[in-house]
Amino acid sequence: MARRLLSLLLLGPYVVAGSSSSASATVSSSASSTPVTSSAASSSATSSATSSSASSASTSSYSATSYLATETGPLTLPISEYTFSPYPTPSLAPDPPVFPATDPLYPPPVSPDPMVVPDFAPAWAAAYTKAKAMISGWTIEQKVNVSTGVFWEGGVCVGNTPPIEDYPGLCLQDSPLGVRDTDLVTSFPAGITAASTWNRALIRARGVAIGEENRGKGVNVALGPMMNMGRVAQGGRNWEGFGADPYLSGEAAYETILGMQSGGVQATAKHYINNEQEWKRTQYSSNVDDRTEHEIYAQPFMRAVMAGVSSVMCSYNLINDTYACNNNKTLNDLMKREFGFQGYIQSDWSATMATLSAVAGLDMTMPGDITFGSGTSYFGGNLTAFVMNDTISMERLDDMATRIVAAWYYMHQDENYPNVTLNSFNPYDPINSEVNVQSNHYEIVREIGAAGTVLLKNERGVLPLDKPKSIVLVGSDAAPPTSGPNEYTDQGGDPSGILAMGWGSGTDNFTYLISPYEAIQQRARLDQTSVFWNFDDWNLDAAGNDVIGMEVAIVFVNSDSGEGYITVDGNAGDRQNLTAWHQGDELILAVAAQNNNTIVVTNSVGPLILEPWVEHPNVTAIVWANLGGNEAGNAVMDILYGNWNPSGRLPYTIAKSPMDYPAQLVLGGTAADILSINYTEGLYIDYRWFDYMNITPRYEFGFGLSYTTFEYSNLAVTEVYPADYAQTSLIDNWANGGATPIAEGSTTALWLHMPAYQVTFNVKNTGSVYGGEIPQLYLHHDASVGEPPSVLKGFTNVEVAPGQTAPVSITLSRYDLSVWDVVRQGWAKPEGTISFSIGASSRDFRLTGTIPA
Ligand code: BGC
């Protein structure tokens, strides 16, 4: 039912009826909001030599007079001049055991303290050899076809490339949390929930299961993970990603990709880069300085490359006044040169802005047409014309096709890969239910749902619940949605029940959805507890009356957001405010006024302002349940009853006031404006800003309670010496203050990322129940270095029985200790003493030490 609307959505603004009188959803095509037009070959040249990318390293070797085709349009800015070299596969000799030569299908096992750095270069090299052989006999048109999608709705997947001789073409499919637009799939907890676990093993396991489901449906390329930063608390798509810290996001991206690709599917690191708000996403320039770009926004993408990611998706926005998919600096220089990325860069859907984007580093245009249904393409015939008239070199076209075909070989998709068994555009096509890929993945969903839940408050030890005589559940967020789990296309409407994912392309269709109401009823049967409920958010008097005399009152509230092509209740993707929906604050206060054991459960896409009730003496507990996927109700029940001792930690700061955050949405602008979003806070995003400005948050980054307590002791730090390692001259250079050389793969060089120091300590469980702790390592540099006061550079998870002590180890690489030197354009060890803290959050330090000089 819901998906029947999909094709209508693309025709223009469309209103989906909300179930609540207070809300409505407006949907428009993401592509049609891109007011760009194109003409095919004509004789005038439009390009000029401007690059506003602040530190572009490129120089011109380009003659504007040779153009035979043109791209014009109100938003097509002059494109940069480009140099181009097809980047060779790095040829560092693998050095086992630290650097095992790794096939993406068989990554090293997850470790809470990674000691190996997988080397994918040999696997890429083998794949390149095969790809070059395959394309060697192909015509220009055939090579162009590898790079050009078959247009929107031209195939059954959201993106499709055509078959060419023995190469079957590709099926590209959303989303970061499951297989979109089909049946009999799992709805995994969202990225933000996975990040809240701070647990590498669980994040990897989620990735593996997502990879397996994609492979099972015949998807070649999964369009995730999403790794934009939660720079702005209201950012509509933050929930798809991994929070507001680059290290946490990077590690989550790394484990997710290792997992997904071991499941068989090509992973896509998106949206590259600086796509941190939804408002006017095709019409803003994120203006970011070079150091901030390297240390904050590019870090998760760098880790994606180190995980051997197959594909990267460039984003809709501009970076320093050049469109992301047309950006020589970020595509060629940063991604392909500096990170040594061997796979291919695909555009976000209709984010390609020019045929010459191919020279800036774009390898594939998706879904192929300039705007959905336009019938024109910047690649296709235009790319063929540009190659035939030597505007774009044959060498570059070969490189594009090679990268794409190589990724297919690299992932062994030439070996018995399943057929595509989904149809994104026809929910009634029986092919959608031909293959059931769910397996036992509900178990990992439930576990991550619990492990990704953060206990923020627990007064008088009211949690875990112990066979209460009576419970009352208040709020629609406790309930099943009134018209089934998929009541809106792409989940794009005001939720009438539990919020278990946000809205937009980052969703899938629920096969089933367990609400808290169902899960708690099951448990109540065992405990013989009386259960009452009131799911009406709007009648505050009734809510207050219904909780009188109950042993426990649990209020469920939520806050939703999503992708900007759908507007829900006035929220055009981004959230309009940081307040719980459906007057959640008033509902909590109405309950707390009548019941002195009021427990609040939130399902929120991001931070909320909790001040109206957080200190209310009757609000005894706060359970931050994030977005749990199809087992959301079971997961929150596991936390409430102590089946899972809470170990989740906040992946962002919860502030006391929205204005305490360092960055806000940039709104307004006319239809033709390009907004400037200046990342003036630089390195000081999220907790880094609160620390620097001495602002007290309500709950700090990294915070979360447990049903037990932990004590830290016995800190030691030792240098890790490479046994027999060839790159010692680079290591010595670094130790003496030298920057990493300007070279291909310089930032992902294995020597830079191998363990350099090992920090060890003990964690003792000083409480009475078994539990998991998340020790975190924050570095502190001398003030002259210009780093924020504390920066996360390590974390691990450890589970300890009551009274027991567990040894813990966290390693640091030379990369972890380095800062980006904008003058030397390399990573360098900063001057001065580097000290560090081991803590239970970004503000709860338990041990401190110094990195040996
Ligand atoms: C989104 C991408 C998504 C693509 C295909 C775009 O609008 O930004 O994240 O993968 O559509 O659905």
Assess contact for 506 and 177: CB atoms under 8 A.
yes
Give mean pLDDT, residues 366-377: 96
Q: Which atom of ligand 1 lies nearest, measured to the CA of 31?
A: 7
pLDDT of residue 269: 99
pLDDT of residue 259: 98
How many C-beta neighbours within 10 Å does residue 373 have? 15
Give, in degrees to the nearest 5, the angle at Cα 65 between 62 and 67: 85
Ligand 1 pocket member 228 (CB < 6 A)? no
**Of the residues 563, 565, 574, which should be mutated to test ligand 1's pocket, given the most ligand atoms within 8 Å of the CB?**
563
Residue 359 and residue 680: Cα distance in Å, rounded? 30
Ligand 1 pocket member 237 (CB < 6 A)? no
Give 137-181 pLDDT, tens digit per residue: 999 999 999 999 999 999 999 999 999 999 999 999 999 999 999
Ligand 1 pocket member 174 (CB < 6 A)? yes
Cα–Cα distances in Å, from 602 out to 9, 74, 148, 575, 621? 31, 43, 43, 16, 11
For ligand 1, atom 6, name the residue with the nearest CA.
349
Give 793-852 pLDDT, tens digit per residue: 999 999 999 999 999 999 999 999 999 999 999 999 999 999 999 999 999 999 999 999
Residue 11 and residue 27: Cα distance in Å, rounded? 10
Q: Greater confidence, 554 or 743?
A: 554
* CA 437 distance to own-chain centroid: 23
**Of the residues 6, 10, 30, which should be mutated to test ligand 1's pocket, given the most ligand atoms within 8 Å of the CB?**
30
Residue 289 dihedral angles phi and psi, to the nearest 5°: -75, 160
Q: How far is the CA of 271 from the centre of ligand 1 (A)?
A: 9
**Of the residues 505, 508, 565, 574, which should be mutated to test ligand 1's pocket, given the most ligand atoms within 8 Å of the CB?**
505
Q: How far is the CA of 505 from the centre of ligand 1 (A)?
A: 6
Q: How far is the CA of 153 from the centre of ligand 1 (A)?
A: 14
pLDDT of residue 491: 98
Residue 354 and residue 370: Cα distance in Å, rounded? 9
Least confident of 33-42, 172-181, 431-440: 33-42
pLDDT of residue 96: 59
pTM: 0.92
Ligand 1 pocket member 270 (CB < 6 A)? yes
How confident is the prediction for the chain on average, in pLDDT?
Answer: 90
DSSP conformational letter for 520: H
Percent of the chain past pLDDT 90, that is, above it, reads 84
Give 530-572 pLDDT, tens digit per residue: 999 999 999 999 999 999 999 999 999 999 999 999 999 999 9
Give mean pLDDT, residues 720-749: 83
For ligand 1, atom 8, name the residue with the nearest CA.
348
Helix (H) or strand (E) holding 598: strand 598-604
Q: Greater confidence, 77 or 710?
A: 710
pLDDT of residue 44: 27
Residue 7 has pLDDT above 90, yes or no: no
Helix (H) or strand (E) holding 819: strand 819-821
pLDDT of residue 310: 98
Give mean pLDDT, residues 258-278: 98
Q: How far is the CA of 167 from the centre of ligand 1 (A)?
A: 25
Q: Which atom of ligand 1 lies nearest, measured to the CA of 316?
A: 8
Least confident of 384-393, 714-723, 815-824: 714-723
What band does 15 get if pLDDT is binned at 50, 70 and 90?
very low
Ligand 1 pocket member 424 (CB < 6 A)? no
Residue 653 and residue 698: Cα distance in Å, rounded? 8
Q: Greater confidence, 22 or 267?
A: 267
Give mean pLDDT, residues 607-619: 98
For ligand 1, atom 12, name the residue with the nearest CA.
505
Ligand 1 pocket member 566 (CB < 6 A)? no
Q: Is 572 helix (H, G, I), strand (E, B) or coil?
A: coil
Residue 72 has pLDDT above 70, yes or no: no
For ligand 1, atom 2, name the residue with the nearest CA.
348
Nearest CA to 546 out of 531, 533, 529 is that of: 533
Nearest CA to 126 out of 102, 95, 157, 154 is that of: 102
Residue 625 has pLDDT above 90, yes or no: yes
For ligand 1, atom 9, name the residue with the nearest CA.
505
Structure tokens at 847: 């041990």
Ligand 1 pocket member 284 (CB < 6 A)? no
Torsion of CA 355, 356, 361, 362, to 10 degrees: -10
Q: Which atom of ligand 1 lies nearest, measured to the CA of 506?
A: 9
Give 848's strand partners: 837
* CA 213 distance to own-chain centroid: 19
Residue 603 has pLDDT above 90, yes or no: yes
Ligand 1 pocket member 158 (CB < 6 A)? yes
Residue 81 has pLDDT above 70, yes or no: no
Residue 787 has pLDDT above 70, yes or no: yes
Ligand 1 pocket member 119 (CB < 6 A)? no
Q: How far is the CA of 348 from the centre of ligand 1 (A)?
A: 6
pLDDT of residue 722: 61
Q: Which atom of ligand 1 lies nearest, measured to the CA of 281?
A: 8
pLDDT of residue 3: 32
Least confident of 60-74, 335-349, 373-387, 812-826: 60-74
* CA 278 distance to own-chain centroid: 15
Ligand 1 pocket member 505 (CB < 6 A)? yes
- Hey, what amino acid is at 170? L
Residue 568 and residue 25: Cα distance in Å, rounded? 4
State yes or no: cis peptide before 841, omega within 30 of 0: no
Least confident of 539-548, 611-620, 750-759, 765-774: 750-759
**Of the residues 223, 239, 282, 574, which should be mutated to test ligand 1's pocket, given the most ligand atoms within 8 Å of the CB?**
223
Number of residues that make up the chain = 853
Nearest CA to 799 out of 582, 681, 658, 645 is that of: 645
Residue 62 and residue 675: Cα distance in Å, rounded? 30
- Written in H, E and C, the secondary structure of 766-817 is CCCCCEEECCEEEEECCHHHCCCCCEEEEECCEEECCCCEEEEEEEEEHHHH
Nearest CA to 182 out of 430, 366, 348, 11 is that of: 430
Give mean pLDDT, residues 182-190: 98
Least confident of 108-122, 378-392, 614-628: 108-122
Q: Is 762 helix (H, G, I), strand (E, B) or coil?
A: strand
Cα–Cα distances in Å, from 139 out to 84, 357, 383? 22, 21, 13
Give 481-529 pLDDT, tens digit per residue: 999 999 999 999 999 999 999 999 999 999 999 999 999 999 999 999 9
Give 345-363 pLDDT, tens digit per residue: 999 999 999 999 999 999 9
Residues designated as active site: 348
Ligand 1 pocket member 180 (CB < 6 A)? no
